[in-house]
A = this chain, B = another copy of it.
Amino acid sequence: MKEVLNQEQLAFLAEILPCWKAMDREHQRLLERTMTERSVKRGEYLYQGDRDCTGVFWMRYGQARVFLISGTEKQITLYRLLERDSCFLSASCVIKNINFDVFIQAEKDCRILLLPANVYQDLMEKSFPLATYCNQILASRFSDVMWVMEQTIFTSLDRRLALFLLEQKAIDESSDLHITHEAISNHLGTAREVVTRMLKYFQEEGLVSLSRGAIEILDEKRLKELAYAA
């Protein structure tokens, strides 16, 4: 029987799947035989709502953004997928009762381990340990989304923008953020003009310095005070 994954990929899988050891050998072998590694270039889509049924994937390297998009192309980021993260919403075609659609786009070049949707569906009925693990991840995404929702509805934009800049700094590991105002508005689910106005206010206050396509964080301490004020 063809083994698609090599030893290194198998070791990665066994390491990031806490339920691996509890799974029947037969189900482990099904994963080993059907999973594949795939490369996705920065900017490409890993998943495009109901046009796709990609399956479940685990991020080996790279970074991706999971977001909603409206009929009028307005966007909001739900969460980011970083190395070692798993993604189940990309198999929503086979998850009972998940009837919304997200888009997933690579923010850096990615390599993913992919489990086909039909195998995932089959295993969710057969492997109790795997199903329990998958549902814990889904619950965790539910929590991520609720956080975004609370932020969007209850938190003022200055605070949300400060939080976003700090998060971006942590992800990029740099105070020099190469990001457009439009990209930020797509993360925050708001209009570009509103982001531009708020960033200009931040600049006047000495928190950031703006230049074409880039934002430099000048005063992280005050940005944190704004973001985390009680």
Contacts and interface: CB of A to CB of B under 8 A. Distances in A.
Given A100-B146, A128-B128, A131-B128, A76 B153 contact: yes
Chain A interface secondary structure, helix, strand, loop or mixed?
A: helix
A151 to B, nearest CB: 10
A146 B69 CA distance: 12
Interface stretch (A38-46, A91-99, A194-202): A91-99
A108 to B, nearest CB: 26
Contacts of A97: 136-137, 139-140, 142-143
Sorting the interface of chain A by its residue count into under 10, 10 to 19, 20 to 34 or 35 or more gives: 35 or more
Contacts of A76: 153
Interface in A72-120: 72, 74, 76, 95-100
B143 A100 contact: yes
Contact of A74 (B95, B141, B147, B154): B154
Given A149-B145, A153-B152, A154-B70, A131 B139 contact: no
Top 10 closest pairs, chain A to chain B, by CB: A70-B154, A97-B140, A100-B146, A97-B139, A135-B135, A128-B128, A153-B189, A142-B142, A149-B149, A96-B136
5 contacts: A97-B143, A135-B135, A138-B138, A142-B142, A149-B149
Given A71-B154, A138-B138, 15 more contacts: A95-B139, A96-B139, A97-B142, A97-B143, A98-B139, A98-B142, A100-B146, A100-B150, A125-B132, A128-B131, A131-B131, A135-B135, A142-B145, A149-B152, A154-B189
